[in-house]
C-alpha cells in the first residue's frame, strides 16, 4: 500500500460492527475462537452475546475496517467463512483429506 500523507491509499477509515456465528461444541471451543478472533489486527473488541454450548454461538466484533477485511483476516487464520447480510459464519477448516494419522507402535 502506498501512503498519501498519514492515510494509506486503499485503507478503510470505517469501523464495522459485525455479527459472527461460530460452532461451540464445548467450553474450550468458545475460548479458542474468542482468542483467535481477538488476535486479529484491527479487532477492537468482541462480545459473545449468545452462548449455545453444543450449538452455534454469536459474537459481535468491532473491527477497524469493513466486513470484507474481517472476512479476509479470518480466512488467513484458518477459518472457513460464509458471508450473509452483515453476518459472518465461521468454522474451523477441516484437515486436508489424505493426511496420515500419527503412526503408532504396537505394544508387545
DSSP codes of every residue in 28-79: HHHHHHHHHHHTSTTEEEEEEEE--TTEEEEEEEEEEB-HHHHHHHHHHTTE
Mean pLDDT of the chain: 83
Residues contacting 73, CB < 8 A, separation 6+: 40, 41, 42
Given a contact cutoff of 8 angstroms between Cβ atoms, the answer to whether 30 and 38 are in contact is no
Taking 60 as the threshold, does the pLDDT of residue 103 lie above it?
Answer: no
- Summarised one tens digit per residue, pLDDT across range 34-68 is 999 999 999 999 999 999 999 999 999 999 999 99
The CATH number of the structural domain formed by 12-92 is: 3.30.70
Is residue 32 scored above 70 in pLDDT? yes
Residue 86's pLDDT is: 87
Top-confidence residue, 38 or 11? 38
Query: Domain boundaries in the chain?
Result: 12-92
The grid coordinates listed for 48 are 459473545
Confidence category of residue 93, pLDDT binned at 50, 70, 90: confident
In the predicted structure, residue 11 carries a pLDDT above the cut 90: no
Sign of the alpha-carbon dihedral angle for 21, 72, 93, 61 = negative
Amino acid at each position: 500500500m502506498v501512503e498519501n500523507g498519514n492515510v494509506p491509499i486503499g485503507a478503510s477509515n470505517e469501523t464495522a460492527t459485525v455479527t459472527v456465528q461460530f460452532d461451540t461444541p464445548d467450553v474450550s471451543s468458545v475460548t479458542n475462537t474468542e482468542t483467535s478472533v481477538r488476535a486479529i489486527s484491527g479487532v477492537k473488541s468482541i462480545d459473545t452475546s449468545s452462548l449455545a454450548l453444543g450449538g452455534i454461538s454469536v459474537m459481535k466484533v468491532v473491527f477497524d475496517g469493513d466486513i470484507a477485511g474481517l472476512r479476509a483476516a479470518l480466512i488467513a487464520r484458518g477459518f472457513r467463512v460464509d458471508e450473509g447480510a452483515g453476518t459472518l459464519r465461521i468454522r474451523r477448516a477441516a484437515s486436508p483429506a489424505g493426511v496420515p494419522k500419527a503412526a503408532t507402535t504396537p505394544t508387545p
